[in-house]
Amino acid sequence: MFWNKPMETMGRGEMTNLQSLRLHDTVERIYRQVPYYRNKLQALGLLPEDIAGIEDVGKLPFITKQEMRDNYPYGLFAVPLTEIVRVHASSGTTGKPTVVGYTKRDIGIWSEVMARALTYAGASKHSCIQVAYGYGLFTGGLGVHYGAEMIGASVIPVSSGNTARQIMLMKDFGTTVLACTPSYALYIAETMREMGLEPGDLTLKAGIFGAEPWSERMRQEIEDRLAIKALDIYGLSEIIGPGVANECACQDGLHISEDHFFPEIINPLTGEALPDGEKGELVLTTITKEGMPMVRYRTRDLTVLNRSICDCGRTLARMGKVLGRTDDMLIIRGVNVFPSQVESVLLGLGETSPHYQLIVDREDNLDTLTVLVEVTEEMFSDEVRRLEKLEYKIKEALASVLQVTAKVRLVGPKYIERSEGKAKRVIDNRKI
């Protein structure tokens, strides 16, 4: 099922032409209307006419989250506030949030790319879509909401939290599509089981899950426990919110809405462009946005690009599932460690629950990594020998994948705090 077939199946040559025209317009706009960008381009001796087509994108400077903070709140807006109809912000871990603004047309584009995401998941005007992402300054809730309205589905804007009520509404209202973070989807499944409900008691068919990286193993777990098709959705407020890239039923990469967002993969250390298929940091350029265009935004997300035609018939380039973030990446005794690697190992062994947490400390100038892993009630009350054996098994499996030794601590059910949004996977106690 297509939402916008001409765009989703456009030939590569035609897409390149469209992207070239749109990039040129974007560069003109930021040069004229955003002094911060103009200064950056002038510092490199660049004029808008130097960017003739998409092949010139590499001449343009990158922009980072820090630069957004430096321009807080409205310094990167390319239109007067009278043209801005919506403001969102992402919470900074320290200090001020980063702010984004949308014109009426930007909201239309966002709804369009979200309509695609939902259609890829099989949703239509016959669907009942429960939006369990948070509503508010966070883009998740309202992003899915507008896309769901655009396709004419019945929207249940429940927002995040109050899990027992979520489940009651899913059951009573006949929800067919669930949208939330993957960790919250698992939490819902767990609560359902405690309430004595089976997946068959619901009418749920599909879920679109995003806002945090998750593994193939976790997908399997969610699909089994909720008896649904679980699709990945990628987005970030800096670019537009959810809907930048969306998985189709083939579950083999997320189609980037390339007619609006131009993707590149770079080496995060050197900034040089990498060829398709090589893993690196995703850089995105908005080529249609009016309110706050972003040119070569460093997403910090690690992935790969694939421009081959998908089995679904779409020609839109695909990005792999996000493998981690360059700033989520832990460096432990000089070795790069991603929480997603730990998740894959645990789910691969299949003897624990999918809840885990990484704790990093520094003792006598040496980094230590402890992985907390939850086990089931039966397991936890089992004999100590069996638990020790499992601990050892996890430790061995982690060491071979991470190339670094980790302590493993098995903990009882619900020991690790549950989140209704993004799961807190890492506690770094090192004072660096």
For binding to Zn ion (CB under 5 A), which residues are involved? 248, 250, 310, 312, 314
Q: Which is nearer to Zn ion, 316 or 358 (CB)?
A: 316
Exposed/middle/buried for residue 198 (C-beta within 10 Å: 0-12, 13-18, 19+): exposed
Q: Cα separation of 124 and 111, whole Å? A: 14
Per the CB < 8 A criterion, the answer to whether 251 and 122 are in contact is no
Nearer to Zn ion among residue 310 and residue 358 (C-beta): 310
Q: How far is the CB of 195 from Zn ion (least distance, A)?
A: 36
Three-state DSSP state, 175: coil
Strand-pairing partners, residue 256, are 245
DSSP 8-state secondary structure symbol assigned to residue 288: S
Least separation in angstroms between residue 250's CB and Zn ion is: 5
Nearest distance, CB of residue 247 and Zn ion, angstroms: 8
Distance CA 359, CA 13 (A): 49
Nearest residue (CB) to Zn ion, 208 versus 310: 310
| Phi and psi angles of residue 212, each rounded to the nearest 5 degrees, phi first | -155, 150
Alpha-carbon span 94 to 424, nearest angstrom: 16
Contact 345, 398 (CB under 8 A): yes
Closest CB to Zn ion among 289 and 314? 314
* Nearest-approach distance from CB 309 to Zn ion, in angstroms: 9
Residue in 148, 146, 185, 152 with CA at minimum distance from that of residue 166: 185
Report in angstroms how near the CB of residue 316 gets to Zn ion at its nearest.
Answer: 8
Residue 1 vs 164, nearer CB to Zn ion = 1
Return the number of the residue (248 or 390) whose C-beta is nearest Zn ion.
248
With beta carbons less than 8 A apart as the criterion, state whether 301 and 322 touch.
yes
The least distance separating Zn ion from the CB of residue 306, rounded to whole angstroms, comes to: 10
Torsion sign across C-alpha atoms 395, 397, 401, 403: positive
* Shorter beta-carbon distance to Zn ion: residue 296 or 314: 314
The span from the CA of 241 to the CA of 117, in Å, is: 12
The identity of residue 283, as a single letter, is: V
CB of 120 to Zn ion, least distance (A): 7
